[in-house]
């Protein structure tokens, strides 16, 4: 799928270049953020996906280095204690964290970075880098649908699913921390809304640092026309 509007706002096409933005997706487990992230990356290969480190066991469908870097608790703690994680949190009984270096490199190179992290991680990033962040919270349309999605995904044991459903209320309570909230009932509509958010955020005045010379030139041309 290609979209000329979207391309017009991509980093490569941005006038004068800019620092990348940080698009954070959070939701209770099963609401659909990984699905939305995958669709967005398919359509925008220029976006860098931040691959987290975790102490959680690998799911059957997951690939080391693609979905996560799966680490022992000792290795995780070493990275964390060395300051190599931009943020980290304990979620559903496991540790998760964002490796610092690849994110900073991508942002400096003008690439937008996508994060699939929980509210605790989002809070830490908002504190450190608020002006770079576009936070989107994804809600399920109902509790029954959330349960159905977790069961249909069929990648977690039933005890794990119950724990995730129990934690959903705590997670949803943080909806106000985010810039945008999407109710993911119909996947196509939610995805269209997410794309529109990204498009608008890329076009924010403060994200177009190269505008000044354009304005100056226009002003100069208009002054000449008026002579």
* Chain residue whose CB lies nearest ligand 5GP: 121
Nearer to ligand ADP, 197 or 211 (CB): 197
Cβ 121 to ligand 5GP shortest distance, Å:
2
Paired tokens of 127: 């504190």
Compose the 132-161 pattern: x for residues touching ligand ADP by CB under 6 A, - for all others: -----------------x--xx--------
Q: Which does 89 bind (CB under 5 to 8 A by kind): ligand ADP, ligand 5GP, none?
A: ligand 5GP
- Cross-strand pairs, 87: 98
CA distances from 220 to 14, 97, 227 (A): 22, 50, 11
Calpha distance 82→99 (Å, rounded):
11
- Only one of the segments 44-52, 54-62, 179-187, 197-205 lies at the binding site for ligand ADP (rule: CB under 6 A); that segment is 179-187
Calpha distance 76→61 (Å, rounded):
22
Contacts of 119 (CB under 8 A, 6+ apart): 26, 171, 174, 177
Residue 31 annotated as binding?
Answer: yes
Q: Which does 55 bind (CB under 5 to 8 A by kind): ligand ADP, ligand 5GP, none?
A: none
- Only one of the segments 11-19, 36-44, 92-100, 178-186 lies at the binding site for ligand 5GP (rule: CB under 6 A); that segment is 92-100
Of 127, 134, 140, 101, nearest in space to 207 by CA:
134
Which residue has 């100056």 as its token pair? 216
Nearer to ligand ADP, 104 or 155 (CB): 155
**Residue 184 and residue 141 in contact, taking contact as beta carbons nearer than 8 Å:** yes
Give residues in contact with ligand 5GP (CB under 6 A). 26, 29, 52, 56, 87, 89, 91-92, 96-98, 116-118, 120-121
Binding-site residue numbers for ATP are 27-34
């Amino acid at each position: 799928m290609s979209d000329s509007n979207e391309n017009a706002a991509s980093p490569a096409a941005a006038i004068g270049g800019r620092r990348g933005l940080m698009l954070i997706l959070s939701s209770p487990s099963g609401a659909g953020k990984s699905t939305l992230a995958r669709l967005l990356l398919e359509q925008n290969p220029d976006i860098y996906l931040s691959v987290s480190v975790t102490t959680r066991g690998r799911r059957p469908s997951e690939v080391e280095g693609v979905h996560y870097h799966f680490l022992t608790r000792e290795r995780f703690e070493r990275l964390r204690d060395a300051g190599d994680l931009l943020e980290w949190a304990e979620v559903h009984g496991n540790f998760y964290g964002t490796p610092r270096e690849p994110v900073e490199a991508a942002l400096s190179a003008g690439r937008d970075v996508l994060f699939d992290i929980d509210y605790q991680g989002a809070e830490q990033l908002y504190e450190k880098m608020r002006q770079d962040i576009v936070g989107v919270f994804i809600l399920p349309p109902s509790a029954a649908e959330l349960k159905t999605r977790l069961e249909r995904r069929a990648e977690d044991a039933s005890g794990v699913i119950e724990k995730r459903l129990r934690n959903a209320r705590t997670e949803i309570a943080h909806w106000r921390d985010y810039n945008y909230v999407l109710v993911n009932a119909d996947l196509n509509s939610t995805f269209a809304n997410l794309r529109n958010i990204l498009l608008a955020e890329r076009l924010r005045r403060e994200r177009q640092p190269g505008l000044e010379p354009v304005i100056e030139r226009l002003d100069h041309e208009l002054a000449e026309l008026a002579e």
